[in-house]
Every structure is written in structure tokens, then in C-alpha cells.
Amino acid sequence: MLKAGISKVKITPPFGLEMAGYGIYLNRIGKEISSALEMSEDNITISTTHTHSGPTTVYLRGWGDMDKNYMVFLKEKIIESAKEANKNLEPVIIGAGQGKVEINFNRVVKGGPTDTALMVLRVDNLSGKTKAILYNYSAHAVVMGPDSFAVSADWPGYASAKLDSVLSGGMGMFLQGFCGDVNIKDNGSSSFDKAKEYGEILANEVLRVTKKIKLEKSKKIKMYSKIINLPLHIPDQKDIEDMLQHYAEHRKQANWERFFQEWKDDTIREINRNPRDVLPAEIQILAIDNDILFVMEPGEVFTKWGMKIKEISPFKNTFVIGYANDCIGYIPDKDDFVRKGYAAHMVPLILGFFHFKPNAGEILVEGVGELTEDIKCLLNKK
């Protein structure tokens, strides 16, 4: 029988810690959790909500440095939480459902694709108490904008807090979707009231869906992972000069000139090392019976790719989860490469990666499709 355990820990940083955006690691956590719980690393997923109101936890050129003490603290808290969840494992019955919430919008293309689906997984113990509700929605957690210097869990924090208060001992857990080009409404307003408003709108829909979910004992659960090689464009000298010319106006500011000079120096250094022309990305999928599928990947994927995965999925309830196990930047659509958009063009410079080729998103979806078929066969194998 399926078992579930839950835990929550505080990861609030101390006063004075530098925030991200104003100025390899996850594998180590996975290994330590694997060792502590005697569990295969392949069965561990670490996903994040991706708030813009917190400390830097990955390399971001010119956008804030990682604090070593906080990184150690964060790692210890994650491992502590995993151990605590393992201690309170108990048999559970589960079920999934879907709702709809129209509080997001496409920030890249006016009227562009937006996934308004809200996916919900309900987990009850055998006494009938709801132990956890996992909910999956696609929208950047960016109500708190650049005018705010407060550490905040943004609207997902308010949504989970509302669920926690209703569940009384149970827990609401947010799983961020494919929101590379999707924001929440009133993004950047830096209003705690707005963050709470949208969080509670989402929580109310979660609760509505939860009441209608049919719970069952799970018969089969399978988890599978695969490395998909996403194609990279290795630049030459002309590409570097074209990039500098494209951002000529930015470079008139001293801080941006330093940014681009560092990028140029680092890029030339990397080219001379004969780099690989692919970036390995781990895709994980978790299937429960023939009804529920979780797809987990490590980037900020444009929403059309998540919608495509749901479309081709043979599972009734498909959760698409980004920001899992690594940070490989945006996986845009081809149009963003044509327009030289922020996601396709600028972000690789910030993260220190080469640019993806325009077909990276299609390769991702194709890889997920193959993985889904494989796990479907495993579930149905006698």
C-alpha cells in the first residue's frame, strides 16, 4: 500500500542577507537524503516554487551572490524535513482532480497561451484525515516586485497557509508548473494584500476540487528518470560581437558593461575548452496506477510545452512541474528565439550557459512522451 509522510521547516534567511536579482548543489542534497533514508536517488525529487523574493541559491552573473552559510543552513533544513517526513509515514489513499483558475497571463505575448488548469492531489490516511494536498499551477511567484526588499513566499505561501489552516494538522504543498512565460496578475505590485488575495483565490479552488475527489487505494506506483540532451549553440567570435552590439544601449551603463565584459571573457574561455554541444537535463516521471502522472524537469519551461505534454499524456491527471532538481534556465518556444526575447537571448548570459537551439522545447516534449509511454508499459506489465 502507498504510504505518505509530510514535514515543513522554516528556511527564512537572517536579516541582512543579500537578495537575488538585486545586485550542482541540489545533487549533494539528493545524495544525503538518499543516504539518510536508504532510498535510491532516482526516487528523490527536489522542486522549488521559484520566488523572486529570496536569497540567491544558484549562480546568477551580476544578480546577487550565494551566501555560503545560508546554503549550508538550507541544505540541513531540507534534509531535516525529509527525515521528519520519513518518520511519520503511514498508509494512505489518494485521488486527483482538476480545477480552473484564471489569475495568470502570458507576459511575453499579449493574448499568448496560458495554462489555467489547477491540478490537485489529495492524500488521506486510513482514518479519513486529509494528510496533504498537493496542488500544481503555472504562474511566476512575482507579486512582490523589484520595489520590495522583503523576503516572501509570495502568493504560493498564502495559498498553502490557507490550506494548512483548513486541514488542521495536514499540509498544503505547492508544485510550480511550466511558467516560463506566465506571470500572476498584478505582478510586480509589491503588495502583500494582492499576494494574499491571489493565493487565497487559488486555495479556495483547491478546496472546491478536493471535496469532489474520489479516493482509492493505489495498486501500482512507478518512478522513472531519463537524461535528455538538449542542443546548445556554441558561439563563435562573430556571435559574441553580434551579442555585444545587440546590447549596445545596455552597455552604456557601467554595471552592464562589466556584466557583458565578464560574459565575453567567460565565453571565450569556455569555447577554447571544446565544450559539448548539448546540455544534459534529467527528466523524472512518477505514475500512480493508470490515472496520475507527475512530469518533473529542471528549467523554466514555456507554458505551451506543458500544455502539449498534457495533451499527449495517456494519463487522466497530468501534473507538469518545473524547477526540479536543477536550474538550466528557460526553455522557450521558437518564436522567442526569433524575437531575441529575454528568455531565449539574455538569461543564458546570466546563468553562464550557452544558448539553447530553437528546437530544445520540442526535444524536451518528445523525450517526455517517450518516457511516458515507457512507464505506461511498466504499469500494465503483468
Tell me the residue type at 106.
N
- For 331, residues 6+ apart whose C-beta sits below 8 A from its C-beta are 180, 230, 299, 300, 301, 302, 305, 356, 360, 361, 364
Ramachandran area for residue 268 (φ above 0: left; ψ -120 to 50: alpha; else beta):
alpha
pLDDT digits (tens, 9 = 90+) for 83-132: 999 999 999 999 999 999 999 999 999 999 999 999 999 999 999 999 99
Strands 300-301 and 330-331: parallel
Mean predicted confidence (pLDDT) in 152-168: 92
Residue with cell 543564458: 348
The answer, yes or no, to whether residue 52 has pLDDT greater than 80, is no
Phi, psi angles (nearest 5°) of residue 372: -65, -40
The answer, yes or no, to whether residue 220 has pLDDT greater than 60, is yes
Q: Which three cell numbers stand for residue 32?
A: 544525503
pLDDT for the residue 188: 66
The region of weakest confidence among 120-129, 151-160, 196-205, 234-243 is: 151-160
The Cα 146–Cα 181 span in angstroms is 18
Q: Which residue has the higher pLDDT, 361 or 31?
A: 361
Kindly list the domain boundaries of the chain, sorted by start residue: 3-223+282-311, 224-281+312-380
Burial group, residue 68, by CB count within 10 angstroms (0-12, 13-18, 19+): exposed
The answer, yes or no, to whether residue 70 has pLDDT greater than 70, is yes
pLDDT for the residue 382: 65
Burial group, residue 3, by CB count within 10 angstroms (0-12, 13-18, 19+): exposed
Residue 203: pLDDT band (50, 70, 90) is very high
Q: In this structure, how many other beta carbons lie within 10 angstroms of the beta carbon of residue 278?
A: 17
The Cα 131–Cα 129 span in angstroms is 6
Measured in whole angstroms, how far is the alpha carbon of residue 59 from the centre of its chain? Answer: 16
DSSP string, 8-35: ----PPPTTPPBTT---HHHHHHHHHHH
pLDDT digits (tens, 9 = 90+) for 274-324: 899 999 999 999 999 989 999 999 999 999 999 999 999 999 999 999 999
Q: Which residue has the higher pLDDT, 275 or 189?
A: 275
Dihedral sign for Cα atoms in the order 172, 40, 96, 181: positive
Q: How far apart are the first and last CA of the chain?
A: 18
Residue with cell 479552488: 205
The answer, yes or no, to whether residue 21 has pLDDT greater than 50, is no
The Cα 280–Cα 297 span in angstroms is 11
Mean predicted confidence (pLDDT) in 334-341: 96
- For 319, residues 6+ apart whose C-beta sits below 8 A from its C-beta are 119, 121, 134, 136, 175, 177, 292, 293, 294, 295
Q: Which residue has the higher pLDDT, 120 or 169?
A: 120
- Angle, helix 360-380 to helix 303-312, in steps of 10 degrees: 30
pLDDT for the residue 288: 95
pLDDT for the residue 16: 46
Residue 333: pLDDT band (50, 70, 90) is very high
